[in-house]
Amino acid sequence: MEPASERQSAGKDPGKGSRRAISIPASGPQEGWHSMCGTGIAAWCGPTTGADPGGITVFAIFFPGQGAQFRGMGADVFGRYPGMTRFACDLLGYDLVSRCRDNQDDVLSRTECTQPALFTVNALHTFERERREGPPADYCLGHSLGEYNALLAAGVFDFETGLRLVKKRGELMAAASGGGMSAVMNISAPRLLDVLREDGVEGAEVAAYNTEAQVVIAGSDSALRAAHASLKARGIRFASLRVSAAFHSRHMEPVRSEFESFLAGFTFAEPRTTVISNVTGRPYERGAIPQMLSRQLVEPVRWVDSIRYLLSLGNGLEYEEIGGDSLLRMVKSIAKAGTQNTPIKSGA
């Protein structure tokens, strides 16, 4: 197939990504990387994970979500994989390369474009990493949309299926209206909820636990206005996010229902590399892919719990982010909080 030949003939330059190592828990020896073809499109997936009773080290690969997009992204990989790039453009119905290159009218900020664009670019970077025979991962995890790249990397579905899923997901989320999201800094989630409760703010809920001191809230427009007034009066920093609706909250229930029906039309393999779920902050359980992907739309991203889980596994953690370094900064912040030896059970 053309994608396979592209992967054989691609040059030696590495794809974008960052890698860091810190001395905190993990485990799991691995076999080599695999390649998988689905509907004629080559897709990358990780090896079967085996537990290491010695708990020497863990190597995790992270995939960023919406917000990591930037003008010019993909320029280093589109040319290396012309067949897969053309396939993505045909499936999406527009010229993805020019949209990423030019970002005319800030099109990359539109959810229906952002999600398939990020998925495709990070998938190509993942294929490039495989071609360079990067070290195999013990765990794959992604933040919100990034979880789809983690599942692709773990062999749960092929490139075409993943692109169809995120295309539909992006369209449904973009069509949702009313409400929004705000990032709140330098305060823990429990304290933030106490503050909002003390000030009589109702309807704002946690949408993402990013670090010990950075929380994203979501809610209706009126709920967020009240939350902003409360935070401003108390001198607590916050920033409104450029999204069209209250993602990862109960406001997305109508979207969840439609997406759940869409997911029913696909078959998913079990992960070949352990994938951590945003919903639980723990590894996916067998047969849980559709359920977790639909729940992800209406429940918070438990990134802190996910990283705490990794930090609790052994003697050290190495991690690499595909396509940026925003998640690496979060991981470093969580590790510095010094709670890695006492992970808490997810409330989901």
Buried b (16+ CB within 10 A) or exposed e, 200-239: ebebbbbbbbbbbbbbbbbbbeebbebbbebbeeeebebe
pLDDT of residue 57: 84
**Average confidence (pLDDT) over 59-71:** 94
Longest dimension (CA), the chain: 61
248: its two tokens: 């990862």
Higher pLDDT, 302 or 323: 302
Percent of the chain, pLDDT > 70?
A: 81
Q: DSSP H helical segments within the chain, as ranges?
A: 2-9, 82-92, 96-102, 111-131, 146-153, 159-175, 189-198, 221-233, 253-263, 289-295, 303-311, 326-336
C-alpha gyration radius of the chain: 20
316: its two tokens: 């050290």
pLDDT bin (cut points 50, 70, 90) of residue 110 is very high
Residues labelled catalytic: 144, 248
Q: Over 90: is that where the pLDDT of 51 sits? A: no
Strand order in the sheet with 58-63: 17-22, 317-322, 58-63, 139-142, 274-275
pLDDT bin (cut points 50, 70, 90) of residue 1 is very low
What is the rounded CA–CA span in Å between residue 248 and residue 108? 20
Residue that has been written with the tokens 């909250």 in this structure: 249
Cα separations in angstroms, 77 against 72, 89, 105, 189, 313: 11, 14, 23, 38, 34
What is the rounded CA–CA span in Å between residue 71 and residue 43? 25
Mean residue pLDDT of the chain comes to 84
pLDDT bin (cut points 50, 70, 90) of residue 39 is very low
CA geometry: angle at 95 spanning 91 and 101, to 5°?
135
pLDDT of residue 55: 52
Segment 129-168, tens digit of pLDDT: 999 988 999 999 999 999 999 999 999 999 999 999 999 9
pLDDT of residue 265: 97
194: its two tokens: 């106490």
**DSSP string of 246-292?**
-TTSGGGHHHHHHHHHHHTT---PPPSSEEB-TTTSSBPPTT-HHHH
Q: Give yes or no for a contact between 259 and 170, defined as CB atoms under 8 angstroms apart.
A: no
Q: Hey, is 243 helix, strand or coil?
A: coil
Segment 310-329, tens digit of pLDDT: 999 877 889 999 988 889 99
**DSSP string of 67-108?**
T---TTTTTTTGGG-HHHHHHHHHHHTS-HHHHHHH-GGGGG
User: Residue 215: left if φ>0, alpha if ψ -120 to 50, beta else—which one?
Assistant: beta
Cα separations in angstroms, 182 against 176, 197, 239: 17, 17, 5
pLDDT bin (cut points 50, 70, 90) of residue 338 is low
**Average confidence (pLDDT) over 36-51:** 32
What is the rounded CA–CA span in Å between residue 162 and residue 43? 10
Q: Over 70: is that where the pLDDT of 231 sits? A: yes
Query: What is the pairing mode between strands 180-185 and 214-219?
Result: antiparallel
Q: Give yes or no for a contact between 311 and 24, defined as CB atoms under 8 angstroms apart.
A: yes
Q: Over 80: is that where the pLDDT of 13 sits? A: no
Q: Over 80: is that where the pLDDT of 32 sits? A: no
pLDDT of residue 20: 47
Percent of the chain, pLDDT > 90?
A: 74
**Average confidence (pLDDT) over 97-118:** 96
**Average confidence (pLDDT) over 212-231:** 97
Q: Measuring CA to CA, which residue among 96, 89, 93 is closest to residue 74?
A: 96
Buried b (16+ CB within 10 A) or exposed e, 97-131: bebbeebeeebbebbbbbbbbbbbbbbbbbbbbbb
pLDDT of residue 284: 97
Q: What are phi and psi of 146, to 5 degrees?
A: -60, -20
Higher pLDDT, 19 or 157: 157
pLDDT of residue 178: 84
